[in-house]
């Protein structure tokens, strides 16, 4: 089962890299920083250098989630929906994200999910 999930995630990662995951209608947004830069400069502060989470910040570990789970979380966080993968509302993160966006630390959901998975996932 784990293998299947890994293969599926790799396909998604490849699609993201080759750009065919993007819908032709989506407008092109240019981001000031790469996901790695955004993570290092903002997310790491609460989620740790390796996505291991920080108890004192109440920030959960994000190093065990697969790309799709991360995408759903990040989508909820950015669009203000209900958590689909964890059933939490991500209210804290939504608030954080708004502040980060205001400072120019915006990111592409797919690119950030792939970055977090590839850089930190401990189960892959």
CA 122, distance to chain mean position in Å, is 15
Give the one residue of 6, 13, 16, 100 binding ligand HEC; rule: CB under 6 A. 100
By residue count, the chain amounts to 124
Burial (Cβ within 10 Å: 0-12, 13-18, ≥19) of residue 119: middle
Subset of residues 37 to 66 that bind ligand HEC, contact rule: CB under 6 A: 38, 42-43, 45-47, 57-60, 62
Residue 80 is given by DSSP the state T
The residue from 22, 79, 81, 86 that contacts ligand HEC (CB under 6 A) is 86
Q: Measured over all CA atoms, what is the biggest interatomic distance in the chain, rounded to whole angstroms?
A: 42
Q: Does 74 bind ligand HEC (CB under 6 A)?
A: yes
Q: Does 72 bind ligand HEC (CB under 6 A)?
A: no
| Residue written as token pair 């790695």 | 36
- Quick one: which of 34, 68, 96, 118 contacts ligand HEC (CB under 6 A)? 96
Among 90, 114, 117, 121, binds ligand HEC (CB under 6 A): 90
First and final C-alpha spacing in the chain: 12
- Binding positions for ligand HEC, rule: CB under 6 A: 38, 42-43, 45-47, 57-60, 62, 70, 73-74, 86, 88, 90-93, 96, 100, 112
């Amino acid at each position: 089962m784990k293998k299947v999930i890994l293969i599926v995630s790799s396909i998604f990662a490849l699609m993201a890299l080759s750009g065919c995951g993007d819908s032709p209608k989506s407008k092109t947004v240019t981001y000031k920083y790469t996901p790695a830069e955004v993570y290092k400069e903002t997310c790491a502060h609460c989620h740790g250098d390796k996505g291991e989470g920080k108890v004192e910040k109440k920030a959960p570990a994000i190093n065990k989630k697969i790309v799709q789970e991360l995408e759903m979380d990040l989508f909820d966080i950015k669009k203000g929906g209900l958590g689909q993968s964890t059933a939490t509302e991500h209210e804290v993160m939504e608030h954080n994200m708004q502040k980060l966006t205001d400072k120019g630390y915006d990111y592409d959901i797919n690119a950030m999910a792939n970055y977090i998975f590839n850089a930190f996932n401990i189960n892959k």
